[in-house]
Structure 1
Amino acid sequence: MLLKILGQLLVATTLVQIVPVDASVFEYQAGVGKMEQTMMSPVESQMAFGTLPEAENRDYPVKIDLDSYGIVTSAWSAMVVDDSSGAVLFEKHPDALRSIGSVTKLMTALVFLEQNPNLNEVVTLDPELDYVGGGRIYLGYFNGVSLYNVLGASLVGSDNTATQALVRFSGLSSVDFIARMNQKADEMGMVQTDFYDVAGLDSNSMSTARELVRLLQEAEANETISYFMQQSTYTITQASGRSVTIENTNGVLQTFMNESPYDVVGGKTGYLPQAGYVLITSIKHEGNIVHVVIMGAESKDARVQEAKGLAYWAFQTYQWPE
């Protein structure tokens, strides 16, 4: 038994050297200590994942390292899901309701775009109508900017004021807009999810790790939202010539997980004191995509490190069909 434990520690140490993440993330539960997550076979887990859309290809990834159960995370809830089959590869409190913070903005963007706005229209932001506190404001007031770039500021920089402006330019009242967000969530099968505002500042806006995977998939299916989610930085120039470069709040984009052979294909962050640090992101490797959800991590850095660690673990632990 002692030799087995030493062998597992050696593997974990080697893995930490290969993958540039915090070593504290890689505390494998290969029979040592208490396992924090319930593991099911991919077939069983997919059957439990009732909110995912039907996939045409039902070939499931096969676990090739049977002694590896995942990694220890500071997050209250965490999940890894295979995109093509819907198989759950890792889960920790996947159905716990938690505040989601600015992840809300993905649903805001979906509802805004379904109003068929002219994204080339030049608009101006008004502090009396659009200002929302919290976070950075990237766009200057009374300075022409395309609706496309207002959406970019919302999704890339998580700008709350830009997000509120989207509601005004949608033609819907705030009440009707939020009602549509909740209606759309129901239509998507996100039956436990509730939205109370458009920017994610209301801690009553809540969801689960399982349902956030569904939201991320829907966002990635939208070409405009998908583009913004993949930008590490995004530069906006307003009518006056004022220019600002916005760094994406999804820190995974600035890591090795966005370099060959990996590719970050989507994601959004959130934070509130009641929510902790939240991150949902999708990573592609050799044509296969996994969706990773981190809810309630202890720090901004922890949510990035744990998302990286879970994605890397999934690609190393499972084998996808040819």
Structure 2
Amino acid sequence: MKHKLRAALLVVAMLGLGTQSPLSAAAVGKSEQQSAKKDPVKKPHGHAKSAGKKSSHGHAASTKAPRKVAGKSASGKTMAATGSKTQLAHGVSKKHIRHAALADMDPSRLALYSASALVIDQSNGQVMLEKHPDMVVPIASISKLMTAMVVLDAKPDLQEVISIGDEDVDGLKGTRSRLPVGTTMTREAAMLLALMSSENRAAHALGRHYPGGMPAFVQAMNKKAQSLGMYNSRFEEPTGLSSNNVSTAHDLARMVAAAARYPEIRSYSTTAEAKVELNGRIRDFHNTNALVRSDTWEIGVSKTGYISEAGRCLVMQARVADKPVVIVLLDSQGKMTRVGDANRIKRWMESASLVTERRRV
């Protein structure tokens, strides 16, 4: 009997070696799948196209031809102002890849140092980012965009020679100028220097030579603001030196969008540098916005501003992440923080655009 029982157990044991339960078979299959995943065999590249996908604009750089503005100096000699700017049409960047969520639209997530900020997508009017956009604040030399529009609306002779007089000297803030009293130049050259280098005497002279003089000019500035829907804005003079020139980020976005429709303003405000002959000497002038010299920015309209009451200000119409946008940055503390804020906004937009493109593939 014992021999029969041992034989039966031996047969059962031998049969057990050749079979597996469904559970143990599944465990083996899972182990094989995990081993396959660890196998360092490279996969086809067919599903990795989105990481390096470019927009229709690609990364081809285009360079504007030098601009020339003719005028006269006090000595009667011909004056030439030239400037050039290299622009870069942006595709989808391969760098700075990160996932951008809707929560990133919170300005605190971008660490903006401007007290008031606004970014608007011009293609659909959508507000992409805002921070105290309706706060009424002094706007300093951002005022000069309105000055240029009012001058151009009057359709004056841009080649007419105007002069810098005693009335154009800043008696409010005591700021200096590279345009001595008695300097003459064309109205076009004065507008170039006002928009590019934020020359206060040039801007004041433009208003003073307006039909009807300065009172008529200031009235025209405020009338233009009302026509643009800038209901929280007020202008007292053409330079922005007065802290009574006030507006909001929302109002200034309307003004920048309107200014972008003037070819002269687009050209002069984005000129990187100019050589101007004044009183027999060639002088170099540079744009107050360093971003116009950057190959990574495609800027259509630019203006900076600063007085102590307004802080550092910057407004731009630009193309970022293949979108036409208006960027308004007001009351930024520190010399470079407005530029830093603009770059942070640009990187955020490009990163968000890249994630969107990758999701579409």
Normalised to the residue count of structure 2, the TM-score between the two structures is 0.66
* Structure having the higher Rg: 2
Q: Contact 1:136–1:159 (CA<8 Å) still a contact in 2?
A: no
Task: Figure out how many residues of one structure are paired with residues of the other and give that number.
Answer: 253
- The residue that corresponds to 1:90 in the other structure is 129
Q: Could you tell me which of 64, 76, 79 is aligned with 2:118?
A: 79
Q: Is the 8 A contact 1:135 1:159 kept in 2?
A: no
Matched, 1:65 2:101: yes
Q: Tell me how large the CA RMSD over aligned residues is.
A: 2.1
* Residues 104, 200 of structure 1: 8 Å contact kept: yes
Cα distance in 1 for residues equivalent to 2:175 and 2:194: 11
User: Partner residue of 1:205?
Assistant: 245
Residue by residue over 1:97-129, the C-alpha shift from the partner in whole angstroms, topping out at 9 and shown as x without a partner, is 111001011101111111111111223322x23
Report the counterpart of residue 263 of structure 1 in structure 2: 298
Equivalent in 241, 244, 250 of residue 289 of structure 2:
250
Question: CA–CA distance in 2 between the matches of 1:151 and 1:75?
Answer: 28
Report the Cα distance in structure 1 between the residues aligned to 2:175 and 2:196, rounded to whole angstroms.
13
Which runs of 5 or more structure 1 residues have no equivalent in the other structure? 1-62
Mark the CA change 1:135 to 1:314 in structure 2 (over 3 Å): closer, same or farther: farther
Decide whether aligned partners of structure 1 residues 181 and 135 sit closer, same or farther in structure 2, where only a CA change above 3 A counts: same
Query: Do structure 1's residue 170 and structure 2's residue 210 form an aligned pair?
Result: yes
SS at match of 2:328: strand
SS in 2 for 1:76: strand
Specify which of 144, 161, 166 is matched with residue 105 of structure 1.
Answer: 144
Does 2:335 correspond to 1:300? yes
Deviates more, 1:137-146 or 1:115-124: 137-146
* Partner SS state of residue 145, structure 1: strand
Q: Residue 170 of structure 2: which of 126, 129, 132 is its match?
A: 132
Q: 2:352 aligns to what?
A: 317
> Paired residue for 2:53?
none
Aligned partner of 2:312: which letter? Y
Number of the residue aligned with 1:191: 231
Aligned residue in 2 for 1:181: 221
Confirm or deny: 8 A CA contact 1:78 1:292 kept in the other structure: yes
Q: Please tell me whether residue 117 in structure 1 is matched to residue 156 in structure 2.
A: yes
CA distance in 1, matches of 2:215, 2:244: 16
Whole-angstrom distance in 2 between the partners of 1:93 and 1:283: 21
1:277 paired residue among 305, 312, 317 = 312
Task: Please name the residue that 1:5 is paired with.
Answer: none
Superposition deviation, residue 311 in structure 1: 2.3
Deviation at 1:66, TM superposition (A): 3.1
1:139 deviates by 2.8
Distance, in Å, in 1 between the alignment partners of 2:113 and 2:133 is: 14
The change in CA–CA distance for 1:303 and 1:135 in structure 2 (over 3 A counts) is farther
Partner of 1:68: helix, strand, or coil? helix
Deviation (angstroms), 1:286: 5.7
Deviation readout 1:268-301 (Å, 9 max, x if unpaired): 1111211111111122146422211111111120
